[in-house]
Structure 1
Amino acid sequence: MWDRKSWWDKESWKNYHREFHERLEQFGRLGRLRIWIIYVLSDDPKNGVEIMDAIEKMHKAFHNMNPKGHKHHAHHEHGKDHSSWRPSPGSIYPMLSKMVEEDLISKMEDGRYKLTLKGQTTADKLLMHFPAYGSTDQDKLENVLTEINGYISYLEDIEKEKLVPHQAKIELLSERLKKIGESLKKE
């Protein structure tokens, strides 16, 4: 049975809880449009039109998926599809200028925008548990390894008695990770 008191006493949970609220605060300060821009630029540089296209595409994808991955039906009213949102040029370009001033993004000579170091740090803090838009294989691997590390930290914090019933699974996982590590040494 789950022991609420021992869960809340865990240092890792306290840190996770603190980080979660810090992220919520930062989401609120940044506003929706900034977050979308940071999100779509976390993959690669884009010009204003490409940013609007990417936001529309990702917004539609997020809107049409529920937590279990089942698609929701788009709501149509007078021929309008309300499952997607596309920022207007009148909102996107002033925001891009403002984000350049804030040193979250920079404008390249070819007119595309990219995240600055400050912007990338913000993206990493805000989006660490969300899959990056078009993320690279290396980014995906880094996210997976970070998740695994978090779960291992969680298991290290649990009282040994609670882990005993799961010993066989833990040993199997340990062996599989060991084999992966050994295969890397051979190549």
Structure 2
Amino acid sequence: MTPPVFSHGSLRLYLLSLLAEQPRHGYELIQALSDRFGGTYSPSAGTIYPRLAKLEEEGLVTKISDGRKTVYEITDAGRAELASRLDELGNIENEVTDSVRRLADEVRSGVNAAMKSLRADLASAAREAKSESKSSDSESNLHTESNRALHEADMVLNEFRQQLRADLRTAAYRSRVPADTVSELRRQLDAVRSSILASINPR
């Protein structure tokens, strides 16, 4: 299971640090967190607003209505707590960076392994087709067609990998990458590989 991005209590403290810089409404806090971590992490509204409500109950922040928006501002008590825990803030960013890097590495590893295996299978099929063919013009044509198919398949795999990485980054930006993403990716890629092998190596 992928560990949470923030350890217990860390997000609460980090929200205080953002509000110490300037008053912000909920969306601005979400955007500020996303900006701090290069878009690799962005909490949901369901993660942020309950913590803001708790901070308000504790007297660490206040809120005022600005049109249809609610703006949160740190209180003197909030600044005092933040000042007493400044040494923890540096570690929080390291925790977040490690968490999102770990997820990205797991996904990248799963995709790369599946793509490498499928390329090897396609190349092997092309070699087998060549060796089993007779020495004739039809053999030459078959070999050419196999090489062309292999090249096109490689291009499709590269395009798929790039698109999936972009999709995953977008999902991570919105905090919508489930913990079982890597295992599900491997399962589906294994199914695709089996299907492709069945089509190029019929019994």
TM range (shorter): 0.3 to 0.5
Structure 1 or 2, whichever has the larger Rg, is 2
Q: Which has the higher contact order (CA 8 A, sep 6+)?
A: 2
| Structure richer in helix, relative to its length | 2
Task: Give TM-score, length-normalised by structure 1.
Answer: 0.39
